[in-house]
């Protein structure tokens, strides 16, 4: 197995692939990256058994062959090189020799036959979506997904595909985000729950990219194919909760406010809130919003007021400041709307402006009980 490759090109691909690797593996082979060599091309694969990601790069090679190379050792070595061609050659004693302008480095490799095979996505349906659109959908929802191992279905993002549009939903029972695209359609109706790890990988690779992503899915696995990259992952098994049932339909009290001012005030005031509950109080009356927080244990308190546009009854409601901050930070609009019905019902946040055509974001945040 002999080939010549650009050091920075190889490093860039390996850094993307290494996002799938776990810090501690029960199977030593999972700490390796599979190198499959073909004339003019090198295919790299990494897996954690749940998610497998592969990418191809161009190399100077006339042979074929495959070996598994320790990922961490190779990455740490490549990070230290300036851009230059590196020559990889297989030695007799199960080592791979790397030759650079500066010297030679030998590392032990593992048998490629031990490397786990990726799942086949057979009898699949498929849909195409632009890379940046998919990354935006992931960015807008993934932060709202849960981390509870007892409720695995809520630890991922719910994909709903139909002929009327694509919907992406995430919730942890305290907050919920629904991201809809009415300008994109699927040939048939389907639903599945994607785990967080492969979504974070896709987000980092596809943000700002205009490549076309083909999504093939069946009842147990999903495959994302774009340019020279393929990601296959196992879906989360289970039924997603009926999220529509928790979104209040009648919300007569509507406040419109500058998003950045609201966000900065929430951040500032929440510094003075109780460190366990992170509770802040919103009091809306007329065209003014009063935001306050108090930590009785330490006699800390803060209050600010902001101008807003408000239609509805005077109201007091409590929220967890961390949830509000996360939601407001993940929106791009200049102004947002907060729709409320009662102090014990969820508040709904939607962007007023800045959305693309066909894009609709709904964020729901559960209130916390106020101590009067």
What's residue 149's pLDDT? 85
Are 145 and 110 in a shared domain?
no
Are 133 and 225 in a shared domain?
yes
What's residue 94's pLDDT? 87
Question: Which residues form the domain of 57?
Answer: 2-114
Q: Is residue 60 part of a domain?
A: yes
Overall pTM surpassing 0.85 (yes/no)? yes
Are 253 and 333 in a shared domain?
yes
Are 187 and 300 in a shared domain?
no
Q: Is residue 120 part of a domain?
A: no
Final residue belonging to a domain, choices 221, 244, 267: 244
Final residue belonging to a domain, choices 211, 244, 277: 244
Overall average pLDDT of the 288-311 stretch: 96
Final residue belonging to a domain, choices 95, 114, 133: 114
What's residue 228's pLDDT? 93
Bridging pattern class, strands 190-194 and 229-234: unpaired
Overall average pLDDT of the 64-87 stretch: 96
Decide: 340 and 253 in contact? Cβ < 8 Å. yes
Are 238 and 255 in a shared domain?
no
What's residue 372's pLDDT? 63
What's residue 354's pLDDT? 86
Check whether 371 has a pLDDT greater than 80: no
What's residue 240's pLDDT? 96
What's residue 92's pLDDT? 80
Are 28 and 95 in a shared domain?
yes
Overall average pLDDT of the 244-266 stretch: 96
Overall average pLDDT of the 236-255 stretch: 95
- Give 95's DSSP letter: E
- Give 31's DSSP letter: G
Overall average pLDDT of the 57-65 stretch: 95
Q: What is the pLDDT of residues 209-245, one digit of tens each?
A: 999 999 999 999 999 999 999 999 999 999 999 999 9
Are 73 and 148 in a shared domain?
no
Check whether 360 has a pLDDT greater than 80: yes
Mean pLDDT computed over every residue of the chain: 95
Are 239 and 129 in a shared domain?
yes
Q: Is residue 119 part of a domain?
A: no
Are 291 and 207 in a shared domain?
no
Cα–Cα distance, 261 to 214 (Å, whole number): 40
Decide: 70 and 32 in contact? Cβ < 8 Å. yes
The dihedrals phi and psi of 231, each to the nearest 5 degrees, come to -120, 125
3 state SS of 220: coil
Overall average pLDDT of the 26-38 stretch: 96
Are 240 and 138 in a shared domain?
yes
Are 256 and 163 in a shared domain?
no
Question: Which CATH number goes with the domain that contains 141?
Answer: 3.10.150.10
Check whether 26 has a pLDDT greater than 80: yes
Are 48 and 104 in a shared domain?
yes
- Structural domain tally of the chain? 3
Q: What is the pLDDT of residues 147-198, one digit of tens each?
A: 988 899 999 999 999 999 999 999 999 999 999 999 999 999 999 999 999 9
């Amino acid at each position: 197995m002999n080939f010549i490759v650009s050091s920075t090109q190889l490093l860039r691909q390996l850094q993307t692939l290494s996002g799938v690797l776990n810090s501690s593996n029960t199977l030593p082979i999972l700490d390796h990256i599979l190198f499959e060599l073909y004339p003019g091309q090198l295919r790299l694969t990494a897996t954690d058994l749940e998610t497998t990601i592969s990418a191809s790069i161009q190399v100077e090679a006339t042979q074929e062959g495959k070996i598994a190379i320790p990922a961490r050792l190779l990455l740490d070595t490549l990070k230290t090189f300036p851009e230059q061609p590196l020559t990889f050659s297989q030695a007799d004693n199960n080592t791979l020799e790397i030759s650079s302008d500066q010297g030679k480095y030998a590392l032990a490799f593992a048998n490629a036959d031990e490397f786990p095979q990726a799942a086949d996505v057979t009898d699949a349906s498929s849909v195409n979506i632009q890379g940046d659109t998919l990354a935006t959908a992931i960015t807008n929802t993934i932060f709202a997904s849960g981390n509870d191992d007892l409720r695995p279905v809520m630890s991922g993002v719910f994909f709903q595909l139909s002929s009327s549009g694509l919907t992406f939903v995430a919730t942890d029972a305290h907050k919920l985000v629904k991201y809809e695209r009415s300008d994109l359609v699927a040939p048939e109706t389907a639903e599945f729950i994607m785990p967080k790890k492969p979504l974070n990988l896709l987000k980092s690779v596809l943000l700002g990219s205009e490549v076309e992503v083909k999504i093939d899915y069946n009842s147990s696995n999903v495959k994302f194919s774009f340019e020279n990259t393929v990601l296959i992952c196992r879906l989360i098994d289970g039924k997603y909760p009926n999220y529509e049932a928790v979104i209040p339909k009648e919300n007569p009290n509507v406040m419109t406010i500058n998003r950045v001012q609201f966000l900065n005030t929430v951040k500032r005031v929440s510094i003075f809130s109780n460190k366990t509950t992170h509770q802040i109080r919103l009091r809306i009356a007329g065209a003014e919003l009063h935001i306050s927080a108090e930590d009785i244990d330490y006699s800390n308190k803060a209050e600010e007021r902001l101008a807003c546009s408000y239609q509805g009854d005077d109201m007091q409601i409590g929220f967890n400041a961390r949830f509000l901050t996360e939601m407001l930070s993940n929106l791009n609009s200049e102004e947002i709307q907060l729709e409320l019905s009662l102090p014990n019902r969820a508040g709904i946040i939607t962007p007023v402006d800045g959305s693309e055509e066909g894009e609709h974001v709904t964020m729901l945040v559960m209130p916390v009980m106020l101590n009067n």
